[in-house]
Amino acid sequence: MTQRYVVRGQVISQEKFALAKELRRNMTEAEKILWQNLRTNKLGGWHFRRQQIIHGYIVDFYCHTASLIIEVDGEIHESQKAADHERDAVLESKSFRIIHFRNHEIEHNLDAVLSKILEACNQTPPNQPNSPPRTGEGPGERSGQT
């Protein structure tokens, strides 16, 4: 069943949708900090979603226009490195770019994290495979915005 807030064209189970919703309700402290700085287009006008389902995987943050996935890695990721690597390989094969940050990076060096994310968004080539064509005013076409 196709759900609201899901990348177009995907069909997902109610269970996966419910899990993403639960993860949005129970974000880690680092995810909360990052979300407060990404939500409502705060970072250079780029629109991010949290706990987005993409090709069957739930990613922490996603900017569709930039085809950019942000993953916040805590201690749990130490025990699931193989699964994370497989997920990254699948998503990268579909032209998504992925940036990983450790919890402590967000909690102790937020400005650097936000700068890296903004730089990655601004380096998005026009007409990225997962992005709509850029016409008119859009984040990639504004000059002087940070």
Q: Tell me the pLDDT of the chain (146 aa) as tens digits.
A: 444 445 667 778 889 889 999 999 999 999 999 999 999 999 999 999 999 999 999 999 999 999 999 999 987 656 677 888 999 999 999 999 999 999 999 999 999 999 999 999 999 776 555 544 344 444 444 334 43
**pLDDT computed for residue 6 by the predictor:** 52
CATH architecture of the region 14-122: 3-Layer(aba) Sandwich (3.40)
CA separation (Å) from 109 to 28, 61, 83, 88, 114? 16, 18, 27, 24, 9
Phi, psi of 49 (to 5 degrees): -120, 155
What pLDDT, on a 0 to 100 scale, did the predictor assign at position 142?
37
pTM for this model (two decimals): 0.79
Q: Is 47 left (phi over 0), alpha (psi -120 to 50) or beta?
A: beta
Q: What is the pLDDT of residue 13?
A: 85
Helix (H) or strand (E) holding 24: helix 14-25
pLDDT of residue 3: 47
User: Where are the chain's structural domains?
Assistant: 14-122
Determine phi and psi for 72, rounding to 5 degrees.
-105, 115
Residue 37 carries which DSSP code? H
